[in-house]
Every structure is written in structure tokens, then in C-alpha cells.
Structure 1
Amino acid sequence: MTEIAVDDDGLRERPPTTTLAADDRLRPYHWAVMVLGVLGYATIAADAAIFPTSYPLVQQSLGFSDSAVGYIYAGGFFTCGVIAMFLIGPLTDRFGRKPLFVAAIAICSAFTILTGFAWNTTSFGILRSIATIGYVSWGLATVLIAESVPAKHRGWMTGTVPVGWAIGFGSSAFFSEHIAASMGWRAVFWIVGILPLAFGIAVSFVIKETPHFQDLQHARRTGSSRFHIDVAKTEKSVLSQLWAADMRRRTIGVTLFFLFIVPQYAIMSYFGLSFLQGKDISFLEANRAITWANWLGIVTILAASFVTRGKGAHYTLTAVGVLGSVCALFMVYLATPSTIVPWFIVYVLITIGLWGGSSNFLQEAFPTRIRGTGGAWGSGMLWTSYGTLALIVAPLLTVYSWNVLVIVFGAVLPLIALVGLWMVPRPKALNSNLEDLVH
């Protein structure tokens, strides 16, 4: 009889059987799922970057204060975070990965277009907050891919989803540089808002519900499971399962990791325009730097996703966090007015690697019965971190310099994040089948 290894918190790994060998082959459908997941998230990322890359024009048009910028950011991020954690995640584990992914994209598209018709600060803030619900699509896209593709390729294929972020964020900065300056900010919101709708329609026709979720539904109905789901535990609330004794350590680790690692990247992505303008870089030059940093970041994300396949998410994310911290210190102490833009680009190139490893990390952290909820929880912590940063950056800048903020958010907080990262047990073997993580 084959011995079954059990780790500290009760997750067991079964040795792969020979019947799984054929499943390692990539088929056209697997590529389609990955491409649509990446492009769908790219449209969401383009939406996410509209305001950070065009807010001076929006601010001038609608007449809101600098402090209102932070509140608008925070309102959207907290709305997304709370809804992701307490609504979208549980619904994903009850009704399926695909319908929630399509719904998130549709909501983002509709309310981004409507934001282009905002007439004052209040209407703009409300419409933007609702549109950000679509940002949960990062977690949903990675679940769709992780549960649809062969285990051998899961690490790098889920790691490609954030390539969509780099494509979308860079494209939005490009639009702000070339379209907003000539046609106005409203045109950018209308153009970018249409994109998620197109991909949402494509997803609804091409992507099927994942085999793992279908098995979860079958297990609830019949009590039997192809992927060895613990049926008894599926009867409990998915949120209560997340904090049960066997999952608590993992949930706390995921929470700490995303809360404290995100500021390392966000301080120069969402606040890159403010940072560069504070260094006397013009609006157009700053957006050009943001565009190139994110587009070049595609290489970093892909590299991180392939390293994840070979070394595992834990080691990949540790390397990104440490290198990002070192680069933050170099940017503060070595950059000059003439070299600040190149240093900014290098910093973004390193820290954007977070997204190449975090997707697989999040999918391996939780079993199938709560993978949707766990993924949404991590996504919610991500956006909560963004929201908190949005609230505190402006007030902190009245007391401290940008250099202090870069040291704290770019070099110090990531060390706490790494503690959370290593609280989550690593899989016994790299690229294990998701069904081999059984509870």
C-alpha cells in the first residue's frame, strides 16, 4: 500500500498516478482559457489605471480637492475588498467560477462607461466604487485557469494572468498620455469601459465551468467525489471553513502577505504619477515612464511565473520581496534628479514580479471546497491594502517626504509580508495536482 504523507495542518498529498500522465498535455482549450483570462484581466487593469494616470484632468474638470483623490481611491478599493471577501468568494464556491467572473467583468464595464458621464465629485466617486467590484476578476481568473489546466503547467499559466495587469495598466497610461490630453478624460473612460464587455462576452461563450467545481457540486449532491473532497465539510459556511482550525494558519498567512506586500508595488504604481511629479517630472514624461515600466514588466511577470514552476511560489515571492526592498533603498539614496526615472522603471520592473508568483501561491493555499473563497479573501486583502494606502499617503506626505514613504512601504513592510508567506505550508511537491491536496 502506498504511504500517504500528512503535513502539520492535515492536508494530505497523494502520489500522482500513472493515469494522470495524459493530462499533462496542453490542449487548445487550455490555451484559450489562459488567453481569455489574461486579456479579460488586462481590460480590468486598464480600468484600474484610468484614474491614477488621468486624475489631474479629472480633478480640474470636476473641481475636487487633493484629499478627495485619496477618498475616491479608498472608496473603490474597500468596496471591492469587502464585496470580494464576503460576497463574491462564497458565491464562487456555491454557484461556479465562470458566472462570477463574467458578472465581475460586466459590472466593471457598465459602471466605467457611466463614470464618463459623472457630473460632480460625489457621482464620480460612487460610480468608480461600484466599477471596482470588477477588480475581483484577478482571483477569479486564476481559479478558472488553475482548475482547468494540467498541474504541470499550472504555475506558469496562472502566473501569466498578471501579464494582463501590465498590459492594461501600461495601455491606460498610454491612453491618458495621448487621448485624455487631446479629447478629454471622459473619452478615456468610455473607450476603456467598452473593452471588458467584449471579453466578458467571449468568456461566456468559450470558457466552461471547471472540472473541480463540477466535482464539488457532484460531491454535494451524491456524497462522492472524483477529487477526494471532504464532503462533510462542504456543508459548513465557506467563510467559517476558511477560519476553521485546519485552515486558520493558511488564512492568517495569506492575509498578512497581501496586506503588507502590496504597498511595495502600489507605492510606485498607483502613486507613481504623484511621486514623479513631486520629483519635477512632467505629466507626459511621468505617464511615459509608467507606460514603459508596466509594459516591460511583462517580462518580469513571465520570468517570475516560470521560476515559480521550477522553484515554487514561496522562493519566488521571497526573492521579489527582498530585491524590491534593496531597490527601494537604492532609489532613495542613489537616485539623482537626472536618474530618478530610470530608477523608477527598475523598481517597478522588480516589484511587479509579485504578480507572477502570487497567483499560484494563492491557488495552492486552499483546497477545492474553499478555493474560490480563499482566492477572493486574498484578493480582498490586496484591495484593502490598496485602499488603506490611498487613505494614508496624502496625510503622510504633509509630515514626511516621499523618500521616507518609499523606505517604509518599499523596504520595511515587505519583511512582515514574508513572515505571512512562510506561515502558509508549501506543497510537498512542486506542481502537485490540485486534487492531491486533500483534506
Structure 2
Amino acid sequence: MMQEPANYVAHATARSRSSLSPSTSPGDPMTEIAVDDDGLRERPPTTTLAADDRLRPYHWAVMVLGVLGYATIAADAAIFPTSYPLVQQSLGFSDSAVGYIYAGGFFTCGVIAMFLIGPLTDRFGRKPLFVAAIAICSVFTILTGFAWNTMSFGILRSIATIGYVSWGLATVLIAESVPAKHRGWMTGTVPVGWAIGFGSSAFFSEHIAASMGWRAVFWIVGILPLAFGIAVSFVIKETPHFQDLQHARRTGASRFHIDVAKTEKSVLSQLWAADMRRRTIGVTLFFLFIVPQYAIMSYFGLSFLQGKDISFLEANRAITWANWLGIVTILAASFVTRGKGAHYTLTAVGVLGSVCALFMVYLATPSTIVPWFIVYVLITIGLWGGSSNFLQEAFPTRIRGTGGAWGSGMLWTSYGTLALIVAPLLTIYSWNVLVIVFGAVLPLIALVGLWLVPQPKALNSNLEDLVH
């Protein structure tokens, strides 16, 4: 039998949840020291891992490509919300069709992310699925620019949105590639790509769509993900954690203490097993109910502002600046996450966003609605600075891809549900009522889900210190 490397630790197929594993010597850094109610066993970091806290050029490259890759996806996601009046006029579809097109894409992405992309990520790797998601988004966005009617536009957009799952994939790539000390803020920078991309798309809609037509914007924005997908395929390597997962499946031994016996089960069944169920429910509730707080003023910001008699150009200008300035908020949230943890950071964002929603409804005037809109987006966009690390710490390596995709799927399912119900609700209620419900009330349910997910034993722990 082939001898295992010294730094790999063979795991028994079953362990007592209440027992302490024996140490080979006093003070052995790899000794198991505790078991919590979720079956997460903590070990102190090894000397080797501590030395790896230094950031190297490769770590920066992974982060930058992850951010820029997601920026191209975000730019794609913002094309329709920031240019739909022009698309609608060109193709002649109704207001209700706008909601169906939104929802079709979001639900397609959500379902495929949860039941296909996630499990494939845990079986075949983080990198190939990330590249594939970006490529699909790029190709079908370019093709959308050739749409000839409502149906062709809706189908092509729905397929393109599969690429939106790249948010979850990018954060997994970064979380499993960079030192634990820097994981919080580096995964938190991924959503900076959202702010860059969304703001850039609004800028394109303001300056290009108005002069060259909406099709030109789809072609230009569609090319960008393909370029970054090629860069990722050549620069980024598969993560050490996934390589170890594959090694554990082949040999039964794991450097990162993966529970080998559990890897034999379906990854989706692992997600809902007794030791993971509470976490999965918490992640589900959090993303379903927190996303509307931000989405009501991002995806529906143009409709909201035009409903307040703000012009198309001025509304897109406000959306552009709100998202570009939001980069500061996202980075601030990611650094607070490193110091205080994702749970406290996301709680602060949710509460402040709820308060701002109430202020915007009761204090804003026609002359101050744009500044209030920008402030609201600046606060609620902080969600993305904390949620990345939260999602990576919620699940173990053996199902981190599936868990990340599940959270991403819940995110897009929330967007899709919002897309279906906003237009009908506006025929009954005012925008102020919707802002109160989605901006101030639903986030309170989200915070319950947030705190259902146990906090890590220590801030910025190595991912392998929590063994499931």
C-alpha cells in the first residue's frame, strides 16, 4: 500500500461526538480538543498554517480576478434593470412581461445553482465551474443583443443568468485559497465587483444605450466576462481544500480533517443531514429575506425613482453613483467582518437599513428623494461585504461548494420572487408601503435565520480548524 504523506491525517469512519481524540505527544498541534453540538471539532492551527498567513502575489491574483470576474457578471445583471424602457420600446413587451423576464432569469439561476452547479462544484472542482458559469453568461448575453421578440429575449436572458452563480463560486475560490487571517476581508471584496459592474452598466445605459441603442450595451458588456474567464482559466489553480477533498475520497486520508465517511453520501443529502440542517435552514431564511432590502432599491431603483418623477438619465446617474460609492461600504463591512465577525456585521447592516427605509419614507421630500435613495443603497449594499465570509464559514469543505451555491440560489430566488410580486403589489399599494415591508420588516426575519447559523469558535479561524 502506498504510504501517505506525513501531513495527512487518517480519519476513522466513525467518532464519538463527546470524546477527545488522543494526542501523539503533549501539545500536539493537530490534537482534537473539543466537540460542539453541531459536531464541529476544533483544533488549534499548526505552525505551518500560521506561517502561511503571509499574503503572496498569487493570493492577490485570485482576489483580483474573482472581483473583476464578478464585476463583469454584475454588469450583465444590471443591463436590463437600467435599460429596460429602451428594450421594452424596441421589442414591444408589456410592463408585466418585465417582471416575468426578471423572474425567469432569477429562478433559472437559483434552481440550477442549488441542484446542479453546487453539487458539481463539490465533485469536479471550484475552478472549472467558475469558468463555465462566466462563459455561459458571456455567450448568452451577446446573443441577447440579437433578440427579435419578447420570447427570444426572455429565453436568452434566462440562460445568461446561470452565470450569476459565480458570486458563490468566486467566494469559495478565494476562501479556500487565501490565508485564514485575511479570508474575511478578501472574500468580502468579491461584492465590490457587484458595485463596480452594476454602476458601470448604469453608466453604459446612460451614455451608450441612449445614443447607440440597447443592443450595443448587451454586446459590449457580454464580451467582458469571456475575457476574464480566459484569464481565470490560465492564472487560478484549483484550491488546496478541494484537492484535499479529492485525495480523501481516493485514499481515506485528509490533511484538512475532512470526515471521509460523509463524503460518500450525496452532497445535497449532506446539506440536510442532522449535523447541517440548522445551518442550511438559517442560510435559507437569511438570504430569502435580507435580499429584498437591497434589491428593492437596486433592481427596482429605476422604477422607484421614475415613480417619484425623476428622469431616466437622472435616475441612472443616481444608481451609478450609489453603487460606485457603495464600494466603500462593502470594503468597510468586509473589514468589520474580520474584526467583529460576519454575524455582528450583517446584523448592523440589517438594522441600519431598516431604520433608513423608515426615514426615507417619512422624511424624504421630492427635492431630497435622490440623496435619500443614495444613502439607502450605501447602507444596504454592505450586505455583500459580510455575507461572503458568512456563507463560507457556514459549511465544511465537503459541501462548501453546494452550500455556497445553495445560498446563492436562495439569493436569486429572492430576486425572482420580488420580480413577480412588485408590479402587482404596486397596483394596490404605494412605493412607500413596499419600502417599509421589504426594507424594514422582512430583514428582521432574515436576522433570525442569520443567528440560527452558529458562529465560528474564533474569528478568522482556518477553515480546517472547524471539522465537520
Cα distance in 2 for residues equivalent to 1:21 and 1:428: 17
**Structure 2 residue matching 1:20: 3-state secondary structure:** helix
Post-superposition offset of 1:2: 5.6
Cα distance in 2 for residues equivalent to 1:54 and 1:272: 12
Deviations 1:242-288 (A, max 9, x none): 00000000000000000000000000000000000000000000000
Deviations 1:217-238 (A, max 9, x none): 0000000000010000000000
- CA contact 2:267–2:399 (8 Å) conserved in 1: yes
**Change beyond 3 A, Cα 1:100–1:390:** same
Post-superposition offset of 1:22: 1.2
In the alignment, structure 1 residue 87 sits paired with structure 2 residue 116: yes
Aligned match of 1:210: 239
Post-superposition offset of 1:6: 1.9
Deviations 1:202-228 (A, max 9, x none): 000000000000000000000000001
**Change beyond 3 A, Cα 1:221–1:195:** same
Cα distance in 2 for residues equivalent to 1:137 and 1:179: 26
Compare 262-271 and 13-22 and name the one that shifted more. Answer: 13-22
Post-superposition offset of 1:19: 2.2
- CA contact 2:114–2:406 (8 Å) conserved in 1: yes
Aligned match of 2:352: 323
Query: Which stretches of structure 1, 4 residues or longer, exceed 2 Å deviation after superposition?
Result: none
Post-superposition offset of 1:21: 1.8
- CA contact 2:32–2:42 (8 Å) conserved in 1: no
In the alignment, structure 1 residue 75 sits paired with structure 2 residue 100: no
Deviations 1:348-405 (A, max 9, x none): 0000000000000000000000000000000000000000000000000000000000
Cα distance in 2 for residues equivalent to 1:159 and 1:7: 27
**Structure 2 residue matching 1:245: 3-state secondary structure:** coil
Cα distance in 2 for residues equivalent to 1:25 and 1:363: 20
**Structure 1 residue matching 2:52: 3-state secondary structure:** helix
Cα distance in 1 for residues equivalent to 2:394 and 2:49: 22
Cα distance in 1 for residues equivalent to 2:206 and 2:227: 24
Deviations 1:13-66 (A, max 9, x none): 111122222100000000000000000000000000000000000000000000
TM-score (structure 2 length as normaliser): 0.93
Cα distance in 1 for residues equivalent to 2:45 and 2:236: 27
Cα distance in 1 for residues equivalent to 2:203 and 2:241: 39
In the alignment, structure 1 residue 380 sits paired with structure 2 residue 409: yes
Cα distance in 2 for residues equivalent to 1:2 and 1:380: 37
Cα distance in 2 for residues equivalent to 1:240 and 1:20: 31
Unpaired runs of 5+ in structure 2?
1-29
Aligned match of 1:390: 419
Post-superposition offset of 1:7: 1.9
- The answer to which structure has the higher helix fraction is 1
Post-superposition offset of 1:169: 0.0
Cα distance in 1 for residues equivalent to 2:379 and 2:184: 19
Name which of 173, 177, 190 aligns with 2:206.
177
Cα distance in 2 for residues equivalent to 1:115 and 1:3: 54
- CA contact 2:32–2:41 (8 Å) conserved in 1: no
TM-score (structure 1 length as normaliser): 0.99
Deviations 1:58-81 (A, max 9, x none): 000000000000000000000000
Q: For 1:289-438, what aligned pairs fall within 5 Å after superposition?
A: 289-438=318-467
Aligned match of 1:186: 215
**Change beyond 3 A, Cα 1:368–1:2:** closer
Aligned match of 1:129: 158
Post-superposition offset of 1:425: 0.2
Post-superposition offset of 1:10: 1.0
Aligned match of 2:140: 111
Post-superposition offset of 1:316: 0.1
**Structure 1 residue matching 2:177: 3-state secondary structure:** coil
Work out which of the two has the higher radius of gyration on C-alpha atoms and give 1 or 2: 2
Post-superposition offset of 1:3: 6.3
Cα distance in 2 for residues equivalent to 1:153 and 1:248: 28
**Structure 2 residue matching 1:10: 3-state secondary structure:** coil
Unpaired runs of 5+ in structure 1?
none
Compare 138-147 and 16-25 and name the one that shifted more. Answer: 16-25
Cα distance in 2 for residues equivalent to 1:20 and 1:47: 38
- CA contact 2:172–2:401 (8 Å) conserved in 1: yes
- CA contact 2:137–2:159 (8 Å) conserved in 1: yes
Post-superposition offset of 1:309: 0.2
Cα distance in 1 for residues equivalent to 2:270 and 2:47: 32
Cα distance in 2 for residues equivalent to 1:220 and 1:377: 23
CA RMSD for the aligned pairs? 0.7
Cα distance in 2 for residues equivalent to 1:385 and 1:94: 27
**Structure 1 residue matching 2:253: 3-state secondary structure:** coil
Cα distance in 2 for residues equivalent to 1:16 and 1:285: 52
Post-superposition offset of 1:9: 1.0
Aligned match of 2:47: 18
Deviations 1:314-347 (A, max 9, x none): 0000000000000000000000000000000000
Q: How many residues of Structure 1 are paired with residues of Structure 2 in the alignment?
A: 439
Cα distance in 2 for residues equivalent to 1:179 and 1:17: 54
Deviations 1:108-142 (A, max 9, x none): 00000000000000000000000000000000000
Cα distance in 2 for residues equivalent to 1:213 and 1:185: 41
Post-superposition offset of 1:12: 1.4
**Change beyond 3 A, Cα 1:104–1:268:** same
Deviations 1:154-176 (A, max 9, x none): 00000000000000000000000
**Structure 2 residue matching 1:24: 3-state secondary structure:** coil
Cα distance in 2 for residues equivalent to 1:197 and 1:329: 41
- CA contact 2:170–2:190 (8 Å) conserved in 1: yes
